[in-house]
Structure 1
Amino acid sequence: MKSFQGTERIIYEYILNHVNDLGDISAKQIAAIAHSNTTSVNRVCKKMGYASYTELRYSLPHDLREDSDFSEADTAKNKTIEKMTQAMKKVRVVYLYARGGSIVSVSYLSRFLSIANIPHLVITDIHQLALASEGLVLLISKSGETQAVIDLAHNAKRKGMKVFAISKDDSSLSHVSDFNINLNEPISGLSLYKRESQLRILEIIDQVGCQLLSS
């Protein structure tokens, strides 16, 4: 907002107030309302990140809807994280399990649990849960389709234990779990940046850790 002054501010506010009608409004009409010219309209559009008014009038409504969707997804994720952390603070013990590269994330979460003085156990073998009868199981799987992780989730559910997960949205693991923090980013096996998904998981663990350590 601060980058728009005078006539540009009028144009900017008019565009935002008529986002859903821009398809029927020309740059000349906006210029006339602002007592300016189409050059000023296009200059405002460029400051907003668009090459021209033509691009803005068709792209802005879609971009704003996407921003709204992301905001709603973040809000839902934050609520799930809060529910998870509150549950972890109340149970007798938290069991952590992952396979492959996600084991790093489990170790990272274990550090937060230790600092928060929450009893927990990092499971390295699915059979370690055999003698458990209470507590909470938190599973991490970037695909949500690793069979060993899914099997452990089913075992925990049969014992009446709560199962939380950090995994891909709409995965097999997410359907088994009581709560799942969705990894909404698409995961491609052909990606040159195979560690990107693990970094996103670590970002979620950071959020979980901050919640655990908050009063």
Structure 2
Amino acid sequence: MAINDNILIKIRDMKDSLTPVERMVAEYILANMEEIPHLSIKNLAQLSKTSDASVLRFCKTLGYNGYRSFIVSISASLGSMDEEHKDQYTDIQPGDDLSVIISNIARNNSKSIEDTLSVIDRKEVARAVKALRASNRIVFFGIGASGLVCKDAEQKFSRINKMCHAYTDGHIQLTAATLLGKGDVAIFISNSGDTVEILETLEIAKKNGASIIAITKYNKSPLADKSDILLSISTPEVTIRSGAMGSRIAMLTVIDILFAGVASAEYQNVKKYLSKTHNILASKHRK
């Protein structure tokens, strides 16, 4: 589990991918966080209108061996959350004053990054950096807003002379995946984790022996299940498009982490590439 592990954030993000009965447990916990540490498994089962067995299954789905260790984690999460952190993401309402919009967007983006640090697994990040360092080439796959994150990743890794490319068109992704092989790393970026084009491309990349890294929302999804390395993000539950903004910011943060991890580990080799690319861009600006 992550160093800044917050099980309440994980429950919120995973809620929609749970079974109907497990979701009843999750919704009761999220609505009554403060009282949960004081409840026995039987109490929680009764209050959530489920059963002891259902609560135990829920705990195991979240990665706990039993109810007691789950409750300890809930208590720790409550203790680490100050009043500001307990606030929900703030949706943007039609007709909002511009100053309110500025404040809410900034807060939502900041919270998305904060919460992502609570769900991302540091060991998985280390495995991803190791795989990227050893790769023959790196390919990024994403559709829509996730495709923009892929383009950002391509620009970053190109600067340190990594052979890489971003593919954001569904048909071209299939072709690109067909040409992958052992030693290549394919990074799939999808908030939902169930984008059809992404999953079709993943199947081909996996079949051809590429290592699969997924950047996706913390939940049970086909993309999460089929990846070799899973990098989870946390995103806000809001309706107006600030939700897409939050997921994009979280994904960009993960890309920045991976890039910095690789560049730092190989700094003696890549500093000349960073210097060259900086100088050529600087010379263009002076003209």
Would the TM-score normalized by the shorter structure come out above 0.5?
A: yes
Cα RMSD, aligned residues only:
2.8
In the superposition, relative to structure 1, how do residues 62 and 77 fare at CA in structure 2: closer, same or farther (>3 Å)? closer
* Mapped contact 1:112–1:212 kept (Cα < 8 A): no
- Name the counterpart of 1:203: 253
- Name the counterpart of 2:235: 185
Specify which of 137, 144, 148 is matched with residue 193 of structure 2: 144
Cα distance in structure 2, aligned partners of 1:209 and 1:63: 33
- Name the counterpart of 1:109: 153
Instruction: Check if 1:173 corresponds to 2:217.
Output: no
Instruction: Check if 1:63 corresponds to 2:45.
Output: no
TM-score, normalised with respect to structure 2: 0.48
Match of 1:182, as an amino acid?
Answer: S
The structure with the largest helix share of the pair is 2
Specify which of 160, 173, 177 is matched with residue 129 of structure 1: 177
- Give the number of aligned pairs: 154
- Name the counterpart of 2:127: 83
For structure 2, the residue ranges without an aligned partner over 5 or more in a row are 1-37, 39-74, 83-113, 266-287
Specify the SS of the correspondent of 1:214.
helix
Match of 1:158, as an amino acid?
Answer: K
For structure 1, the residue ranges without an aligned partner over 5 or more in a row are 1-22, 24-59
* Mapped contact 1:85–1:211 kept (Cα < 8 A): yes
Specify the SS of the correspondent of 1:113.
helix
Match of 2:180, as an amino acid?
Answer: A
* Mapped contact 1:187–1:197 kept (Cα < 8 A): no
* Mapped contact 1:95–1:121 kept (Cα < 8 A): yes
- Deviations 1:20-57 (Å, cap 9, x if unpaired)? xxx9xxxxxxxxxxxxxxxxxxxxxxxxxxxxxxxxxx
Identity of aligned residues (%): 19
* Mapped contact 1:101–1:198 kept (Cα < 8 A): yes
- Deviations 1:70-119 (Å, cap 9, x if unpaired)? 99x74852221221111111111111110011111111111221122211
Match of 1:142, as an amino acid?
Answer: N
Match of 1:165, as an amino acid?
Answer: A
* Mapped contact 1:144–1:173 kept (Cα < 8 A): yes
Match of 2:177, as an amino acid?
Answer: L
Structure of higher CA gyration radius: 1
Specify which of 138, 141, 145 is matched with residue 97 of structure 1: 141
